[in-house]
Amino acid sequence: MFSEISVPSRTIMTPGPVEAHPVALRAMSASILGQFDPAFLQIMDEVKEMIKIPFGTKNKQAFAVDGTSRSGLEAALIALIEPGDKVLIPVYGRFAYLLGEICERAQAEIHYLEKEWDAPFEQETVIEEIKKFQPKIVAMVHGETANGQMQAMKKIGQHCQANDIFFVVDMVATYGGVPLEVDAWGVDIAIAGTQKCVSVPSGLSLITYNDRVEKVLTSRYQKELGLSKDIRNANHISSNYLDLSQLQRYWSEERINHHTEATSMIYGLHEGLRMMIKEGMDNVYARHAQNDQAIVAGIKAMGLGFYGDLSTKMPTVTPIMIPDGIDGEQVRALMLDEFGVEIASSFGALQGKVWRIGNMGYSSRKSNVLHVLSALEGALNYYGAQINKGEAVKAALNIYKK
Amino acid sequence: MFSEISVPSRTIMTPGPVEAHPVALRAMSASILGQFDPAFLQIMDEVKEMIKIPFGTKNKQAFAVDGTSRSGLEAALIALIEPGDKVLIPVYGRFAYLLGEICERAQAEIHYLEKEWDAPFEQETVIEEIKKFQPKIVAMVHGETANGQMQAMKKIGQHCQANDIFFVVDMVATYGGVPLEVDAWGVDIAIAGTQKCVSVPSGLSLITYNDRVEKVLTSRYQKELGLSKDIRNANHISSNYLDLSQLQRYWSEERINHHTEATSMIYGLHEGLRMMIKEGMDNVYARHAQNDQAIVAGIKAMGLGFYGDLSTKMPTVTPIMIPDGIDGEQVRALMLDEFGVEIASSFGALQGKVWRIGNMGYSSRKSNVLHVLSALEGALNYYGAQINKGEAVKAALNIYKK
């Protein structure tokens, strides 16, 4: 009636989920440990330390939230927001609206600063708007997966720090692929996920925050009723599951019993982080940068155009204009079915107009880059697109041979 | 600096997380598929159907929430609760207070019906309280992990159905270990997890609900702002991440882009469910019942006492009184460190007084039962407890040889 799962082998060149590192996958098939087993607690403690490294932070607090990336985004925002709080959301892509959606449900007063999606903001523009709107929180996306643009944020963050404004940044699409400096950029809470450059399956969100945020959490702490009838707090966080004030105590020496940790995902996360750190973060970033250059060179040589400003494009995603007269979904289907290669479409106004090639984590490999360029050329050629034949792979190889 | 994880082999006889089925663990190391890859969608569709079988339901809706069990509990309750709604919570153990904690944060008006934890309610008592308090929702725990008692609920559920009251039931500790009849018992939403009798690592919650609940969800549906600016709803659910009205559409043919599904956990869930269904649910329940009898016979033969009424004890947990003069944590530590066997302590008033032996899923095996009884006897004997020596294992074997 139901058969064992059959998982075809895929070359995944989307902006996530990407191919998991084989060492992380192997770790996930290790047997279960109890959640308070000393052997498991040691793994959790190491994970806490390793999470901080790609974030570029010396924060005391860093841990995983048991949910996909957006669970961490929601946990971060509801930790700070009380009904009526003013939140400024600068929008240069789709995922800024996810931040808005979460803030709206948390009953914040939201102000969107919107622009075209083809480039990020000038930092000064955002700072001007902060001065006008005077928010309690600025929530931004560091790298917009949907349109491939990346925001410089050091000046914005420093302005927030100097003016006692909280700066919450979604780093899901850049963590582990681009150098991040949470501390130097004045970021109060940063959030990432496992399914992109960490090369671990989707299912955990990574989070770090500073003392300023921890102070808020301490002031809002309410211990769960099943554990104590005494630690009540009229100003508690709206969710129990995504309550960072409890999660922090679950991941600390206090080890309150909040939930049953996702054992195998934590195994995988440990190994995914470890493999990055072992490679050396500078080497990891250099690999992503080189593979990005090869993808861009290949697409250019094929004669295709790009969406958005290449000078502010993040190295982990390349948005490509679908040529006139070509059905983007037909090309994607042929690539998946015949070549076993997956690339992504896009969202909102870009849907049907833009493909996205991801370049993330374990998927960011020379052989994958050459494979995706070959498959895209093959599919376009099959459907009669006007492209320069035989140039893409050569251009990419020239980057590698430099 | 950081080394590969080292996972000691454990015999886990706690009430969760328990040992994962080797077939599920193996599946989790399969490579990643894109979340909308047809091969992955087929796996999701099969999971939806399989989830229904242990719940005993023909509901249209059944799927996984990407979080530990309590994420599903919260998703279920906030789907129904609007601020000020009356919720009745009958309490005969610790996890009823978790339901209360979630309802409190959802701004419900909560009424607790409390009793001693040594037995569940007479159904008539709950029905009387429903008549008095007239709640919109009754939220209950089917099996209380902390004290091992199990609630009969058919009459309560039928009363709720007849009076247009929503009946929400936490089946985390019984799903897959005890026959459940969500439809016949009049349960509107039932919630379970992966880390107990499904024999899959922690990290997903399983949920099913009927048309009455789906109607509420349809009336509260708000599509995420990043996907559509049109589908707004003043009465939307308070969380974006745990919004069943969106999750349902993610798991349906509509396939709205809500989150990136936890690929590998879904692989594991598929296989955990499949192995149960392949064994046959009746055989699964008979196995749990027999191993429970063996545990109870062994503990009795050793001369130890039980907490609570044995006639209403659930077969998946056995609470044992810690003998006078014995340090329960010292015994647990010796069992873990020297025998590699884990049993659990308890919560609240039972902490330090009660151990709990779990009997769940892949851990519910004859060899595990004999091992835990031997280890407990060995540890108690080592610490000088007055017990009947050599009787426990013999009593258990007599159950199996019957």
Question: For B140-185, how does the pLDDT look when each residue is reduced to its tens digit (9 = 90+)?
Answer: 999 999 999 999 999 999 999 999 999 999 999 999 999 999 999 9
pLDDT exceeds 90 at position A227: no
User: Which positions in chain A touch B68 (Cβ < 8 Å)?
Assistant: 66, 241, 259-262
Judge contact between B75 and B207, C-beta under 8 A. yes
Average pLDDT over residues A81-102: 97
Judge contact between A200 and A24, C-beta under 8 A. yes
Question: Angle of helix A281-302 relative to helix A263-279, nearest 10 degrees?
Answer: 80
Angle at B398 between CA B397 and CA B401, to 5 degrees: 85
Average pLDDT over residues B19-31: 98
What does the alpha-carbon distance between residue B8 and residue B28 come to, in Å, rounded to a whole number?
19
Lowest mean pLDDT: which of A70-79, A109-118, A143-152, A348-357?
Answer: A348-357
Note the pLDDT tens digit of each residue in A377-396: 999 999 999 999 999 999 99
The dihedral of CA B359, B363, B366, B370: what is its sign? negative
Note the pLDDT tens digit of each residue in B74-110: 999 999 999 999 999 999 999 999 999 999 999 999 9
Name the average pLDDT for chain B. 97
pLDDT exceeds 90 at position A228: no
Write b or e for each residue in A292-321: b if 16 or more Cβ atoms lie within 10 A of its Cβ, otherwise e. Answer: bbbbbbbbbbbebebbbeeebbbbbbbbbb
User: B281-401 is classed in which CATH architecture?
Assistant: Alpha-Beta Complex (3.90)
What does the alpha-carbon distance between residue B223 and residue B236 come to, in Å, rounded to a whole number?
9
* Alpha carbon of B402: minimum distance to chain A alpha carbons (Å): 32
Per cent of chain B over pLDDT 70 is 100
Judge contact between A170 and A142, C-beta under 8 A. yes
Domain residues of chain B, as ranges? 21-276, 281-401
**Structure tokens given for B29:** 């190391």
Angle at B260 between CA A110 and CA A171, to 5 degrees: 55
Q: What is the pLDDT of residue B67?
A: 98
pLDDT exceeds 90 at position B402: no
Average pLDDT over residues B248-273: 96
Nearest by CB to residue B26, choosing from A29, A104, A202, is A29
Judge contact between B76 and B237, C-beta under 8 A. no
B384 pLDDT tier (thresholds 50, 70, 90): very high
Label the pairing between strands A317-321 and B11-12.
unpaired
Chain A contact probe: residue of B3, B5, B37 with most A CBs at under 10 A? B5
User: Which positions in chain A touch B105 (Cβ < 8 Å)?
Assistant: 236-240
Q: Residue written as tokens 């809500």? A: B258
Does A203 sit within 8 Å of B7, measured CB to CB?
Answer: no
The answer for residues whose C-beta is within 8 angstroms of residue A313's C-beta and 6 or more apart is A148, A149, A150, A296, A306, A319
Q: What is the pLDDT of residue B347?
A: 83
Q: Which of B69, B242, B79 is nearest to B172 (CA)?
A: B69
Note the pLDDT tens digit of each residue in A259-292: 999 999 999 999 999 999 999 999 999 999 999 9
pLDDT exceeds 90 at position B192: yes
Q: Residue written as tokens 């959490």? A: A217
Closest-approach residue (CA) in chain B for A97: B226
pLDDT exceeds 90 at position B1: no
pLDDT exceeds 90 at position B228: no
B227 pLDDT tier (thresholds 50, 70, 90): confident
Does B227 sit within 8 Å of A10, measured CB to CB?
Answer: no
Q: What is the pLDDT of residue B349?
A: 82
Q: What is the pLDDT of residue A216?
A: 98
User: Which positions in chain B touch A241 (Cβ < 8 Å)?
Assistant: 67-68, 70-71, 74, 102, 242
A355 pLDDT tier (thresholds 50, 70, 90): very high
pLDDT exceeds 90 at position A328: yes
pLDDT exceeds 90 at position B240: yes
Q: What is the pLDDT of residue B98?
A: 97
Q: What is the pLDDT of residue A338?
A: 97
Chain B contact probe: residue of A51, A105, A240, A335 with most B CBs at under 10 A? A240
Judge contact between A314 and A150, C-beta under 8 A. yes
User: Which positions in chain B touch A97 (Cβ < 8 Å)?
Assistant: 224-226
Q: What is the DSSP letter of B184?
A: T
Does A347 sit within 8 Å of B227, measured CB to CB?
Answer: yes
Average pLDDT over residues B110-138: 98
Note the pLDDT tens digit of each residue in B213-225: 999 999 999 999 8
Q: What is the pLDDT of residue B198?
A: 98
Closest-approach residue (CA) in chain A for B39: A7
Closest-approach residue (CA) in chain A for B9: A31
Lowest mean pLDDT: which of B78-82, B253-257, B275-279?
Answer: B253-257
Note the pLDDT tens digit of each residue in A182-220: 999 999 999 999 999 999 999 999 999 999 999 999 999
The answer for residues whose C-beta is within 8 angstroms of residue B288's C-beta and 6 or more apart is B177, B178, B197, B315, B316, B359, B360, B364
User: Which positions in chain A touch B260 (Cβ < 8 Å)?
Assistant: 16-17, 68-69, 193, 195, 202
3-state secondary structure of B333: helix
B71 pLDDT tier (thresholds 50, 70, 90): very high
ipTM (interface predicted TM): 0.97
* Alpha carbon of B181: minimum distance to chain A alpha carbons (Å): 22
Write b or e for each residue in B345-378: b if 16 or more Cβ atoms lie within 10 A of its Cβ, otherwise e. Answer: bbbeebeeebbbbbbbbbbbbeebbbbbbbbbbb
Q: What is the pLDDT of residue A348?
A: 80
Chain B contact probe: residue of A260, A266, A274, A329 with most B CBs at under 10 A? A260
Nearest by CB to residue A262, choosing from B100, B202, B274, is B202
User: Which positions in chain A touch B244 (Cβ < 8 Å)?
Assistant: none
Angle at B85 between CA B84 and CA B91, to 5 degrees: 115
Average pLDDT over residues A39-53: 98
As a CATH number, domain B21-276 is: 3.40.640.10
Chain A contact probe: residue of B112, B241, B275, B360 with most A CBs at under 10 A? B241
Does B268 sit within 8 Å of A67, measured CB to CB?
Answer: no
Q: What is the pLDDT of residue B167?
A: 98
